[in-house]
Amino acid sequence: MTYAEIADYTDEKLIHTELQLERELIAARFRHYTSQLEDNSVLKKLRRDIARLQTAVRQRELDQELPKNALRGLHSSSFRPESGDGGIVEGASDFLKGIVDKVTPGE
């Protein structure tokens, strides 16, 4: 991801992309700690992409004379994570509920 590509993003897409990459970074770190990550350079690439996005967000906030993290506050509530490497699968809460049901004694 280059800064030229980021310049074409809307404010909302910029924030959503940043949040998605942060989720992917957390998932990649987890895979790295459990020795399941084959390419360690992914961590560096994700960190740098996040930094580029944060720089673009801050520049837009300064251009629009907004306080720091104002765009994130406006658009983070509409973020829906994508399923995949770093995303949440829709049925995750049902999965956890099923585990809790198995662990707790029947009532």
Confidence (pLDDT) at 100: 55
Confidence (pLDDT) at 103: 60
Confidence (pLDDT) at 105: 57
Q: Which residues in the chain belong to E strands, given as ranges?
A: none
Tokens of 9: 């993003």
pTM: 0.74
Confidence (pLDDT) at 90: 47
Given a cut of 70, whether residue 86 has pLDDT beyond it is no
Residue 28, phi-psi category: left (phi > 0), alpha (psi -120 to 50), beta (remainder): alpha
| Distance from C-alpha of 16 to C-alpha of 80, rounded to nearest angstrom | 8
User: Can you say how many angstroms the Cα of residue 65 is from the centroid of all Cα atoms in its chain?
Assistant: 25
- Express each pLDDT in 33-56 by its tens digit: 999 989 999 999 999 999 999 999
Tokens of 28: 């990649």
Instruction: Name all domains of the chain by residue range, CATH numbers in brackets.
Output: 3-80 (1.10.287)
